[in-house]
Amino acid sequence: RKEVEQDPGPFNVPEGATVAFNCTYSNSASQSFFWYRQDCRKEPKLLMSVYSSGNEDGRFTAQLNRASQYISLLIRDSKLSDSATYLCVVNIRGSGDKLTFGTGTRLAVRP
């Protein structure tokens, strides 16, 4: 079983739609959680950290459910520029600075 699992998609949505991605992690020692974004043929970049209480950054909302070991990302009012692959990332306690990446969920926003 992969340590971090995501639906690969693609999610095809119209502009203005709300879309949600889920991610599950298998290691209960996972302590820190993040969403990264990777554009086609580009490097990954940090989108946002995910806090236990949930957090919002503009149109993006991240939630963490430790009991069920899943993380979500909600994007409201999708823009064409949101088209990318969204990577769910965890840091496991005791692993130092090592980040474990999911394979990503691809989002395609159409006009």
Question: What CA–CA distance (Å, rounded) separates 54 from 82?
Answer: 21
Any contact of residue 45 with another protein (CB under 8 A)? yes
Q: From residue 61 to residue 80, what is the string marking binding to another protein with x (rule CB under 8 A)?
A: --------------------
Is 99 a binder of another protein (CB under 8 A)? yes
Q: Is 81 in the site for another protein (CB under 8 A)?
A: no
User: Measured between alpha carbons, how far is 75 from 59 in angstroms, rounded to an integer?
Assistant: 6
Q: From residue 83, give the alpha-carbon distance in Å to each of 15, 21, 75.
A: 10, 13, 11
Q: Which residues bind another protein (CB under 8 A)?
A: 32, 34, 42-46, 49, 85, 87, 89, 91, 96-101, 103-104
